[in-house]
Amino acid sequence: MLGTRRPKISSAAWRSEGGASTTPAVRPAAWTAPDQRQYREGVPTTRRELRRARSADAGWDAMFLTSGLPLWVITMAALLVWSQSLHTIQHAGAGAGTVVRLMLSVIVVIAGLLLLAPVLTGWQRRRFQGFRGIEIREIQTPRLYRRGQFRLVLRSEALWRQVLYHLIAGPLIGMALALLALMAAITVFVAVKLPAHALGMGQYHRVYGEKFWGQVAYLLLSGTAVVFMPRLIRALARADDFAARRLLGPSETLVLARRVQTLADSRAAAVEAADGERRRIERDLHDGAQQRLMSLALHLGIARKTLTDVPPEAMSVIVDAHEQVKEAMAEIRNLVRGLHPAVLDDRGLDAALSGVAARSAVPVRLTVGTTGALSASVETVAYFVVSEALANVVKHSRASQASVEVTRQEDRLLIRVADDGIGGADTRSGTGLTGLAHRVASVDGRLRLTSPSGGPTVLTAELPCGV
């Protein structure tokens, strides 16, 4: 900690997720005091070095705290005045006028703060960034001076939190700092005066004798406090960090809400990107490998038909090659069909499902109801569900027939794939089904599987298709 010169800012989850992101404490060169630089090189080891390091840190912290004073001074004064008035009201039983004046001043100060909060917060944000390397996220708050935003201002939780900082938290820290400074000053003053007292004791001791011992006691007490001063200052600086993060930055709820939004957006983008990639691969294969193979098959076909005077061994090689290239074409076609068939974009899910169902080695009966308009991502997932489920039926179920039903129920698309096979399928064991569950989850859908041993297996996917 001392090696890096700055207290490390702990990164509790809510903070690192955007409340006030912590950047490595990089300060502008102008702020780096010369005597602090040496500590960057090595970790202080001796007691003396440690003490020096701590007091240098405390000096920096004190500067940081002092820099807040100008921003707090008015509200500090207001707090002092209010506490005086409260005191008067309590003890002297002051008249209604004082109470009204107190109330009015509170309202005026709070209104002023509501008005100025964005500006003050901006200054504080720069102060924390400059001194502490702490980034406090900016949040949009309604402005009191704008038309029609009055209600919004009163209801703005963020704005009230900022007022709380500028009115209470900051000034309290400022007062504590002032108190510490005062105490230190008195200590120095007393320490300077004490020897003089001791020397002149003979002359004055009848008058000042009792005071002398009082001063000694004070000096002992405040001396101890001065020894602990660096720690006290550091604690205050941390308190300021904490208050600013909690009160000036976005609230935890807001941070989480934003986070959820960001995650939802990035997930949608990732799903989209994956779909786009599948489309691209499909097109590339269609324009490239498939055409080449097609041409190759054609030419081998021509050779097979027109070459009449080749030796039979050569002809058998041509025939073999021709048959193999045709098989390769069929394989690529099946592969590409599983990726993202062009017909899905052209004519939609209903049309695309015919191909999957027909390709299945287990006979399939396909029923597609009116699905209405579906988003491309839902169609792609639905297609993938049917395609993967049927592949699983063929691979594992030993079924003699399967059925696929696709229906729309209000804002959900229901896909039901059933087979009369041996059952015992599990979303956890089969890799195909696991991938399927993930794919369905990527659009907030639900996948259910009932597959008792002995069958039948029914797989149901529910995909939300609200816009």
Residue 29 burial by Cβ neighbours in a 10 Å radius (0-12, 13-18, 19+): exposed
Between 112 and 338, name the residue whose CB sits nearer to other proteins.
338
Q: How far apart are CA 204 and CA 198, in angstroms?
A: 10
List 448's β-bridge partners, or say none. Answer: 460
Q: Which is nearer to other proteins, 299 or 446 (CB)?
A: 299
Closer to other proteins at the Cβ: 365 or 446?
A: 365
* Cβ neighbour number for residue 387 with a 10 Å cutoff: 22
Q: Is 280 in the site for other proteins (CB under 8 A)?
A: no
For residues 97 and 372, which CB has a smaller minimum distance to other proteins in the complex?
Answer: 372
**Identity (one letter) of the amino acid at 110?**
I
Interatomic CA distance for residues 386 and 392, integer angstroms: 10
What per-residue string of b and e applies to 426-450 under the rule 16 or more CB within 10 Å gives b? ebeebeebeebbebbeebebebebe
Full 3-state SS string of 346-384: HHHHHHHHHHHHHHCCCCEEEEECCCCCCCHHHHHHHHH
Rounded to whole angstroms, how far apart are CA atoms 171 and 183?
Answer: 18
Maximum C-alpha span of the chain: 141
Specify the residue, 110 or 318, whose C-beta has the smaller distance to other proteins.
318
Q: Report how far apart, in Å, the C-alpha atoms of 251 and of each of 136, 179, 241, 297 are.
A: 11, 31, 15, 66
Q: Is 376 an interacting residue with respect to other proteins (CB under 8 A)?
A: no
Is residue 364 a contact point for other proteins (CB under 8 A)? yes
Could you tell me which stretch among 18-26, 70-78, 204-212, 326-334 binds other proteins (CB under 8 A)? 326-334
Q: Is residue 346 a contact residue for other proteins (CB under 8 A)?
A: yes
Tell me: does residue 1 bind other proteins (CB under 8 A). Answer: no
Among 49, 345, 405, 462, binds other proteins (CB under 8 A): 345
The interface mask with other proteins, positions 422-441, x = CB under 8 A, is --------------------
Closest approach of other proteins to the CB of residue 326, in Å: 6
Task: List the one residue from 153, 158, 169, 366 that touches other proteins (CB under 8 A).
Answer: 366
Contacting other proteins within 287-316 (CB under 8 A) = 287, 290-292, 294-295, 297-302, 304-306
- Provide, rounded to whole angstroms, the least separation between the CB of residue 456 and other proteins: 17
Task: Kindly tell me which of 325 and 378 has the beta carbon lying closer to other proteins.
Answer: 325
> Which two structure tokens, joined as six digits, stand for 82?
């209010």
Of the candidate spans 35-43, 81-89, 171-179, 363-371, the one that interacts with other proteins by CB under 8 A turns out to be: 363-371
**Which stretches of the chain bind other proteins, using CB under 8 A?**
283, 286-287, 290-292, 294-295, 297-302, 304-306, 322, 325-326, 329-330, 333, 336-337, 341-343, 345-347, 351-352, 354-355, 357-359, 363-367
